């Protein structure tokens, strides 16, 4: 009877050295002469070099195997041995190669443009780079669930079709909904605020849609947000929870993905160093002072920080930084004013967390206004019909309490951890203004 296939990673265990193994996967690279065949195969766990001479396989099989194109699926059988000269440090001496499916000529060859790779994302997803990123991604989302569940939070799933905006009308995706129109969710927030009166502490990791009209390396039209909302807490506590969450995620990546970071050429010591340090929390007003003193940038008080300002600010830090208390004026309607703040104008009980190395905002959060009057006024100011938010205002009518929450951009965090040049590589099939294929 045939032995069970094992993974390439398992074949590298000391227990298998010298033993015959059966591996299945895809041809990653192949080269050969008339006498020798070198075939690197890959599976989800890694790559391994497989070799055979003409006499090992016999003339017929040797010829078939030598002509198999890259990405053909195969089963190979042979003896595995540690071999420092082989790529990956191990080698399988093959005595059999079975073709499962012979591939056509693979369109992805060396030195293709980013655009070509995105056009062929369905195939590029097999690359070692995408494989490594997707494994980190899986760790990140798993860690988010683990972090919140350990703290007694409940997973809460929001609707994706929503009748209201929460983050400004300009980025809403309007879709046909039977004989009327509706929007795709920009955030779970309004629904999360309803749910905390039942569950108190909730979180989610779910898809989010924003029609971002500017082309940047950090905006997607469809992205995943990990949000939390909790009753009885203020925005300053939420900042600490967000920082603890990010630390927890980084720890999990260091535990599970060292090999993937290596493939991505990310130095894990950089992440270890970040975990060892304190992460500062400064106010928006202090941030403007720092930008002025240390970067010679004169930003008018009252404006939201733009990408350039965030980048300049974060050149001065080597850990994530919490920036709190942005001007109320620039903020969404639900963020309450902080009374008695030491600032030139009204500021909101809100915060962002910015990542270093030019990655900018990864978390945005706030306390939520509990005052019906000021909420209604802020909605009117944004040109919204207050009646259509009546259900939301009900939450202030029946036992309202202080509560806060935030959203962490899953792809922004992955892009920073993996040092990706573009957020598009942090998600398997990116959707942007210019791309919705494949």
Give the interface with ligand ATP as residue ranges (CB under 6 A).
167, 210, 212, 219-220, 223, 225, 361-364, 407, 409, 411-412, 423
Closest by Cα among 411, 351, 395, 383 to 212 = 411
The token duo for 124 is 């590029």
Our CB check for ligand ATP shows the closer of 51 and 427 to be 427
Closest by Cα among 225, 162, 158, 249 to 196 = 158
The token duo for 73 is 């699926």
The token duo for 327 is 């001007």
Query: Using a CB cutoff of 8 Å and minimum separation of 24, what contacts does 60-63 make?
Result: 61/96, 61/97, 62/37
Our CB check for ligand ATP shows the closer of 48 and 166 to be 166
Asked if 45 and 134 count as a contact pair (C-beta separation under 8 A), the reply is no
DSSP state of 231: E
For residues 395 and 390, what is the distance between their CA atoms, to the nearest angstrom? 9
For residues 148 and 2, what is the distance between their CA atoms, to the nearest angstrom? 45
- Least distance in angstroms from the C-beta of 316 to ligand ATP: 19
- Least distance in angstroms from the C-beta of 432 to ligand ATP: 9
Q: Which helix (H) or strand (E) holds 180?
A: strand 180-184
Residues 6+ apart with CB under 8 A from 55: none
First-to-last CA distance in the chain? 42
Our CB check for ligand ATP shows the closer of 196 and 413 to be 413
- Least distance in angstroms from the C-beta of 182 to ligand ATP: 20
- Least distance in angstroms from the C-beta of 323 to ligand ATP: 11
201: three-class secondary structure by DSSP: strand
Our CB check for ligand ATP shows the closer of 223 and 284 to be 223
Give me the phi and psi of 224, to 5 degrees please.
-110, 130
Longest Cα–Cα distance of the chain, Å, equals 86
Our CB check for ligand ATP shows the closer of 20 and 311 to be 311
Our CB check for ligand ATP shows the closer of 107 and 428 to be 428
- Annotate 36-76 with DSSP letters as a single string: EEEEEEEETTEEEEEEEEHHHH-HHHHHHHHTPPTT-EEEE
Our CB check for ligand ATP shows the closer of 43 and 367 to be 367
- Least distance in angstroms from the C-beta of 209 to ligand ATP: 9
- Least distance in angstroms from the C-beta of 366 to ligand ATP: 9
- Least distance in angstroms from the C-beta of 181 to ligand ATP: 21
- Least distance in angstroms from the C-beta of 2 to ligand ATP: 47
């Amino acid at each position: 009877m045939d032995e069970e296939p094992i993974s390439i990673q398992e074949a590298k265990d000391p227990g298998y050295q010298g033993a015959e193994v059966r591996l299945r996967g895809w041809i990653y690279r192949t080269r050969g002469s008339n006498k020798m065949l070198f075939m690197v195969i890959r599976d989800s766990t890694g790559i391994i070099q497989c070799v055979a001479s003409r006499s090992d396989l016999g003339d017929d099989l040797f010829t078939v195997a030598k002509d198999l194109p890259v990405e053909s699926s195969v089963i190979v059988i042979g003896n595995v041995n540690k071999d420092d000269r082989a790529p990956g440090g191990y080698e399988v001496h093959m005595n059999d190669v079975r073709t499962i499916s012979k591939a056509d000529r693979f369109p992805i060859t060396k030195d293709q443009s980013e655009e070509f790779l995105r056009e062929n994302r369905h195939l590029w997803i097999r690359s070692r780079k995408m494989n490594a990123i997707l494994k980190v991604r899986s760790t990140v989302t798993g860690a988010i669930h683990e972090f919140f569940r350990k703290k007694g939070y409940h997973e809460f799933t929001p609707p994706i079709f929503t009748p209201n905006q929460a983050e400004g009308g300009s980025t809403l995706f309007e879709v046909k909904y039977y004989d009327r129109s509706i929007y795709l969710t920009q955030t779970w927030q309004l629904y999360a605020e309803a749910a905390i009166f039942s569950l108190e502490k909730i979180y989610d990791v779910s898809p989010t849609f924003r029609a971002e009209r500017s082309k940047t390396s950090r905006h997607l039209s469809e992205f995943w947000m990990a949000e939390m909302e909790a009753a009885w807490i203020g925005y300053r506590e939420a900042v600490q929870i967000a920082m603890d969450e990010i630390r927890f995620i980084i720890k999990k990546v260091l535990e599970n993905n060292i090999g993937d970071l290596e493939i991505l050429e990310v130095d894990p010591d950089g992440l270890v160093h970040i975990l060892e340090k304190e992460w500062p929390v400064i106010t928006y007003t202090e941030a403007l002072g720092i930008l002025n003193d240390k970067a010679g940038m004169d930003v008018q008080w009252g404006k939201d920080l733009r990408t350039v300002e965030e980048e300049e600010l974060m050149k001065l830090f080597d850990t994530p930084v919490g920036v709190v208390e942005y001007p109320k004026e620039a903020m969404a309607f639900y963020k309450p004013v902080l009374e008695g703040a030491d600032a030139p104008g009204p500021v909101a009980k809100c915060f962002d967390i910015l990542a270093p190395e030019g990655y900018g905002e990864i978390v945005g959060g706030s306390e939520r206004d509990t005052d019906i009057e000021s909420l209604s006024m802020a909605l009117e100011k944004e040109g919204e019909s207050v009646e259509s938010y009546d259900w939301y205002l009900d939450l202030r009518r029946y036992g309202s309490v202080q509560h806060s929450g935030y959203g962490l951009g899953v792809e922004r965090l992955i892009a920073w951890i993996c040092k990706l040049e573009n957020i598009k590589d942090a998600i398997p099939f990116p959707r942007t203004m210019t791309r919705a294929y494949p």
